[in-house]
Amino acid sequence: MNTPGRIALIRHGQTDWNLEERLQGSTDVPLNDTGRHEARAVARRLHAEASRWDVLVSSPLSRAVETAQIIGGVLGLELSETCPGLVERGFGPWEGSTLAGLEAQARDAILAEGEPAEEVARRGTAALRRIRDAHPGRNVLVVAHGSLIRLTVSVLNGETHPRVRNCEVVPVRTEALDDARLRDDVPEPTAP
């Protein structure tokens, strides 16, 4: 009997820009020491679970890659691949800007100028579908980014997913990846 695999998304650990409430987007910002600690902590929790993980995939941005490598070190997994479709939502010239202290309306205006949420969700869904199809029946950990995870999981679950904390683990309903309304695949971007 062929058992279906599972996918769990994990947001990368903290960066200095997270701490400063700067908009990271697709800018390649490294983990800080707190982020490394968070990655080790989530790895220990995953190791203590009865679940077995077979494959480790990551966004190509260094904060996600390092988080994945730390988790893989604890779980005995090599990073299988980096997937460009998992990069964070782009915010163009606003990347690096601080959102700290801004009123909600000003914050929303800046976020609205980024990569369209629907496009991020389609890109994330297409990436997860490709990962699932490349590793049938396997249990896959995918390290990515907060907005990409939140927007993708919101579409898959049909309801708004809350903000994703650093190193939070978010299970994916893999059966939702085949929903006909999500089949509007977008080409996967090239690595930054």
Residue type, 141: L
Indicate which residue of 38, 66, 88, 115 is catalytic. Answer: 88
What tokens were used for 164? 């994703």
For the chain, what's the residue count?
192
Known active-site residue 12: yes
Q: How far is CA 88 from CA 65, 82, 91, 182, 184, in A?
A: 13, 13, 9, 19, 20
Known active-site residue 88: yes
Distance of alpha carbon 145 from alpha carbon 86, whole angstroms = 8
Indicate which residue of 12, 38, 66, 115 is catalytic. Answer: 12
Instruction: List residues bridging with 79 in a β-sheet.
Output: 56
Cite the active site residues.
12, 88
